[in-house]
Amino acid sequence: MARHAILQFRPEKSRLRESLARLRAHLEALRPQAPEVVVLPETALTGYFLQGGVRELALTRFELLELLSQVHKELAWEGLLDVVVGFYERDEGAYYNSAAYLELPHRIVHVHRKVFLPTYGVFDEERYLARGRRVEAFNTRFGRAALLICEDFWHSITATIAALDGAEVIYVPSASPARGFQGERPENVERWRTLARAVAAEHGLYVVVASLVGFEGGKGMSGGSLVVGPDGRVLAEAPLFEEAALLFHLDRERIPPVRYDSPLLSDLEAGLPLLLSDLQRVLGRRDADT
C-alpha cells in the first residue's frame, strides 16, 4: 500500500516563492505521517485565474522539478517523495495548463497537458493556453497511473482511455469555483462527487481529486477533495473552502477482486473494437459538415 496525502492547498496568487514557502510548511507538518505520494491541485503554485499573467509565471517542467527538488532538500526529506502538482507550463513559446508527476528529488515521471480548456462562464482558458493532445497512463514506483486536469475529467472518454491504458489510479488536480448553492453543498462539488464515484466504479480503479481553495477575483474555490475506491465508495473527503490534508492508503490489491466481480473494463476491451467504425463514422460526418 502506498501512503498518500492530498494537500487541499491555497496558493499565494501570482507569488510563486511565497507559495513554495507555504508548501514547504505544509510538507513539514505532514512529515510525521511519512506520505510517499503528495497530491496538489491544479495551478497549485500560482493560483488559477492569471489570464495574461500566465506568460510571466509559467515554468518549464525542468524549472518545476528544480524548484520542488530544492524544497525537498531544504526539508531534508528522508528518501524519495512523489508529488503530483498542477502548474502553468512554458514550452517553446507555447503555454499549457499542465500537471506533473515528479519523483523527488531527481525525476520527472510524466507531464499531462490539459486537453479540454473551458472557455465559457467565468472561464477563459483557451484565450491564453494551448490544448494538450494526449491522454496516457504511465508507470510509477507504486503502479500505473494517469493524470487528468479538472474539465478533462468531466468527459467520460478521457478516463476510459486512461483505464484502457492500464491506469490503476487517476489523479485529478482541480480548480473549481463554487457555484449553485441550492443544496447543502455547491452543485459543482456534488457533480465532482458523482463523477468520481461513477468513473471509479465503471473502471475498477482509484480516483483522487485534489481541489484548490482560496478566493481569486471574487470567486471562491470550493475544495471538497476526495478519494474514491475501485468499488465506487468514497474513502475520504476534505472540507469545503479551507485548506486541509487528506491522508489515506492506496491499496492496489483491492483492484483485481473488484474487476473480477464487475468486469466492465474487460467487457469494454472486448467490445470497443466493434464500435470503432461508428466512432470513425461520426468523426467523418463532423468533418464533412465543416
Q: Which CATH superfamily is domain 2-262 in?
A: Carbon-nitrogen hydrolase (3.60.110.10)
In this prediction, residue 290 has a pLDDT band, given cuts at 50, 70 and 90, of low
Mean pLDDT across the stretch 106-120? 97
Helices assigned H by DSSP within 148-205: 156-164, 187-203
Mean pLDDT across the stretch 187-204? 97
Indicate if the pLDDT at residue 102 is higher than 90: yes
For 91, counting Cβ atoms within 10 Å of its Cβ (0-12 exposed, 13-18 middle, 19+ buried), the class is: middle
Sheet of strand 143-147, all strands in order from the earlier edge strand to the far edge: 138-140, 143-147, 169-174, 206-211, 226-228, 234-237
Indicate if the pLDDT at residue 221 is higher than 90: yes
In this prediction, residue 217 has a pLDDT band, given cuts at 50, 70 and 90, of confident
Q: Which residues pair with 86 in a beta bridge?
A: 99
pTM for the whole structure: 0.97
Q: What pLDDT does 182 receive?
A: 77
Mean pLDDT across the stretch 192-207? 98
Residue-wise pLDDT tens digits, 63-101: 999 999 999 999 999 999 999 999 999 999 999 999 999
Mean pLDDT across the stretch 200-225? 95
Q: What pLDDT does 207 receive?
A: 98
Distance CA 19, CA 45 (A): 5
Q: What pLDDT does 185 receive?
A: 87
Residue-wise pLDDT tens digits, 152-171: 999 999 999 999 999 999 99
Distance CA 226, CA 2 (A): 16
Percent of the chain with pLDDT over 90: 92
Distance CA 175, CA 114 (A): 12
Domain positions in the chain are: 2-262
HSE-CB at 194 with a 13 A cutoff on CA atoms is 8
Indicate if the pLDDT at residue 288 is higher than 90: no
Phi, psi for residue 97 in degrees, rounded to 5: -90, 110
- Choose between 83 and 181: higher pLDDT: 83
Indicate if the pLDDT at residue 183 is higher than 80: no
Sheet of strand 107-113, all strands in order from the earlier edge strand to the far edge: 107-113, 94-104, 81-91, 37-39, 2-8, 244-250
Q: Which residues pair with 173 in a beta bridge?
A: 210
H/E run at residue 276:
helix 264-289
| Cα torsion through 160, 247, 151, 13, rounded to 10 | -150
In this prediction, residue 181 has a pLDDT band, given cuts at 50, 70 and 90, of confident
Indicate if the pLDDT at residue 128 is higher than 70: yes
Distance CA 111, CA 162 (A): 14
Percent of the chain with pLDDT over 70: 100
Which of 219, 209, 170 is CA-nearest to residue 189? 209
Q: Please say whether the beta carbons of 165 and 25 come within 8 A.
A: no
Q: Please say whether the beta carbons of 215 and 236 come within 8 A.
A: no
Q: What angle do CA 193, 189, 2 make, to 5 degrees?
A: 50
Distance CA 126, CA 132 (A): 11
Strand ranges, E, within 202-255: 206-211, 213-216, 219-222, 226-228, 234-237, 244-250
In this prediction, residue 180 has a pLDDT band, given cuts at 50, 70 and 90, of confident
Distance CA 239, CA 226 (A): 9
Mean pLDDT across the stretch 42-67? 97
Mean pLDDT across the stretch 11-36? 97
